[in-house]
Every structure is written in structure tokens, then in C-alpha cells.
Amino acid sequence: MKRILVTGGLGFIGSHTVVELQNTGFNVVIIDDLSNSKIEVLDNITEITGKRPDFHQIDLRIKKDVQAFFDNHHIDGIIHFAAFKAVGESVQKPLEYYENNIGSLVYLLQEMRNRNIDHFIFSSSCTVYGQADELPITENAPTKPATSPYGNTKQIGEEIIRGTCKANGLNAIALRYFNPIGAHESVKIGELPLGVPQNLIPYITQTAAGIREQLSIFGDDYDTPDGTAIRDYIHVVDLANAHIAALQRLIDKKNLNNFEYFNVGTGKGSSVLEIVKTFESATNQKLNYKIVDRREGDITAAYADTTIANKELNWKTEKTLEEALQSAWLWQKKQQTS
Ligand code: UD1
């Protein structure tokens, strides 16, 4: 069976993808620098799958360490999650974001080229579309200038991969994620935000758990039915499975171009208020919230047209929003007790 390197494999999306890869029969090697993850996740992946993935603590910014890893390991494909991802922080620390997100990508691609390793899956984001002119967003929607260094690293990352595919014959797929939420049904892995959560769902679950006093809803004067902003929230396990589908497409040589990109969402938009209401009904919790000003940089609405991803990847989402929010809540409660 193919041996797949998962960078950032102990992180939120990475850990769920490692579980699905192992359950599908792939051999997995994880590289993670533990900068935004915990080593315990390795034990939890092992408990879920019955198999301990090979793990290496490596900082991908250190080129000689990346080279040494590839000197010692045979790899058939790479799923590259390892990156910094906080939008606000990226505005404060642009150089750290460019060094980490772009530097590590370049080093990995160099090793792939030098050693003839094919099959590369890249974590991209729907942020590349900015506020799209038409909804739902198809892959044909134009990309817009990035509004943060984080977003820019995703756009530049895609361009670097596109150029490498063209010049060196590498086959790659970028997955443009919408908003990943939820946790594995085993409640052994989930999202572990550091400090005060910036994203909506962890803020909601921490508020329901009493860690935060109140959720602030950023703006109710958007041009949407209830005035709050609309996003496409996808269960992280569905998102993880999109990676398996993309990898299999490359292995089976079913890709139509060297470099492809797909929207990975549910196709359904939910407003912040709808999320709050659905969370309350799905978990039987009352949520304390208030409306505050808009958050700078936020867009009005983004949700995916999944037609192309469904067809080309032979993949579709299977979990409901209720299931995703329930799993996020179970995961939150587990954090309090463990
Ligand atoms: C954000 C990033 C996106 C990144 C994604 C990673 C921005 C502009 N975009 O997406 O690039 O890929 O995270 O998960 O930061 N909200 C509240 N109160 C809160 C938190 C959020 O009302 O306390 C609202 C936001 O205004 C937004 C929605 O909830 O309308 C979702 O926010 P969030 O979870 O931060 O995701 P995005 O902003 O969509």
C-alpha cells in the first residue's frame, strides 16, 4: 500500500485525515512541529485506528532536516497541511507567515522534484475567492486579491504548485476548504484552539461551556435574510474524506490536468444566527450572545457550488450540520472533563 506523508498530521484537519487514510489502508507518516498541536493526538489516532502512524517532529522551515527526512524515507505522496492559519495574527506577523507557509511548501516540492515523488494535495481555502460576485461559488469564479498575508500564502502557494506542475510534471490538487467544523465521532480528536478562539464554532462551544461569557455576533446589517454573514460549514470528517478522494484520483491517474483545484464545502450556506439556533436545538443548550459591529475583513456570504468536486472526486458530504455541531459540543465537553 502507498506510503503517504501528512504534514501537520496532528492538527485539526490533519488528524482527521490521518484517521481516514489509515482506515482506507494507506501507510501514514506524519511530520508535525507541534507548534499548534499536541503529541497526545498521536495516541488518540492510534486508539481510533488501531495503528500508530510513524511520527517525526520536524520543522519544515529547516531545509536540511527536510532533506534528511526524505533521505531516510520512501514516500509515494504528500498531503500538506502544515501551515500557520490565524488571519489576524498574519497581519501582525506577515514575514513569519510567508517564511513558514511558503518556505516549507518550496522545500517539500524541491524534494518531490529531486526524488521523482508524485501526488501532492494542498490545503487551500475559499478565501482565494474573496467576496465572490456570484453565489454559490464555482471553481470558475475569479480569485480576488488577498486581504491578509495568510490568504496570500494560500494564493501564492497555489501559484507555486501550478508552476511546479507545469515545469516538472508533478501532479497536484489544491482543495479549497470552506469552513471546517466538528469532531470525530469517537470524540478522541477534534479542534484544539490556542487561547481565545477566533473561529465561530469553538467560540460557541466555549461559551456554552461557560469558558466565555458571551458570543459576539459580528454584524447583523449584512445584505442577507437575517442580516448576519453566511458561510458553508463542513464536517471535518467529510473534509478529510475529500483528501482521500483527491489522492486516489491522482494515484488512479484520473486527473484531467497536472494541477487541479476543487471547492470542498457542503453547498449550503448558513448565517451566524442560523448556526446559533441550530446549535441550541441540536445540543439543548442556551447560548448567550449579543450583536456587535462587523469584524474587519469579513465578507457577506460564501458557500460552495460542489457540482465539480462531487463529480470529479466522486465524493460528497455525508454528515449534517446538526451532527457537526453536536460533535463539536461533545468534544468541548470532553475537554472539560479530561
Ligand atoms: C476564517 C478566515 C478564513 C480561514 C478560516 C479558517 C477571515 C476573514 N477568514 O473564515 O480565511 O480560512 O477562518 O477556519 O478571518 N463570527 C462571529 N463571532 C465570532 C466568530 C465568528 O460572529 O466570535 C462570524 C464571522 O463574522 C463569520 C462567521 O462567524 O461571519 C465565521 O467566522 P470564522 O469561523 O472566523 O470563519 P471565516 O471568517 O469564515
pLDDT digits (tens, 9 = 90+) for 200-256: 999 999 999 999 999 999 999 999 999 999 999 999 999 999 999 999 999 999 999
| Rounded CA separation 41/39 (Å) | 5
pLDDT digits (tens, 9 = 90+) for 142-171: 999 999 999 999 999 999 999 999 999 999
Distance 302 CA to ligand 1 centre (A): 11
Q: Catalytic site residues?
A: 150
Distance 269 CA to ligand 1 centre (A): 13
Report phi then psi at 254, rounded to 5: -95, -5
pLDDT band at 69 (very low <50, low <70, confident <90, very high): very high
| Rounded CA separation 328/52 (Å) | 25
pTM, full prediction: 0.98
Please tell me if the CB atom of residue 2 comes closer than 6 angstroms to any atom of ligand 1.
Answer: no
Q: Quote the pLDDT of residue 336.
A: 84
DSSP assignment string, 268-301: --EEHHHHHHHHHHHHT----EEEEPPPTT--SB
Q: Quote the pLDDT of residue 313.
A: 98
Q: Quote the pLDDT of residue 10.
A: 98
Enumerate the β-bridge partners of residue 235: 181
Distance 305 CA to ligand 1 centre (A): 19
Please tell me if the CB atom of residue 300 comes closer than 6 angstroms to any atom of ligand 1.
Answer: no
pLDDT band at 198 (very low <50, low <70, confident <90, very high): very high
**Residue 296: exposure state from Cβ atoms within 10 A (0-12, 13-18, ≥19):** exposed
* CA-wise closest residue to 178 among 141, 133, 137: 137
Please tell me if the CB atom of residue 295 comes closer than 6 angstroms to any atom of ligand 1.
Answer: yes
pLDDT at residue 284 greater than cutoff 80: yes
Distance 216 CA to ligand 1 centre (A): 12
| Rounded CA separation 208/286 (Å) | 7
pLDDT band at 258 (very low <50, low <70, confident <90, very high): very high
**Beta carbons of 272 and 218 less than 8 angstroms apart:** yes
Nearest-atom index, ligand 1, CA of 151: 11
Query: Cell 439556533 maps to which residue?
Result: 277
| Rounded CA separation 266/315 (Å) | 11
Q: Quote the pLDDT of residue 288.
A: 98
Please tell me if the CB atom of residue 200 comes closer than 6 angstroms to any atom of ligand 1.
Answer: yes
pLDDT at residue 338 greater than cutoff 80: no
Mean pLDDT of 302-316: 98
pLDDT band at 337 (very low <50, low <70, confident <90, very high): confident
Distance of CA 299 to CAs 219, 252, 260, Å? 11, 38, 25
* CA-wise closest residue to 205 among 86, 323, 326, 41: 326
Q: Quote the pLDDT of residue 194.
A: 87
pLDDT cut 90: percent of the chain above it: 98
For the chain, list the domains and their CATH numbers. Answer: 3-182+233-265+304-317 (3.40.50.720)
**Residue 143: exposure state from Cβ atoms within 10 A (0-12, 13-18, ≥19):** middle
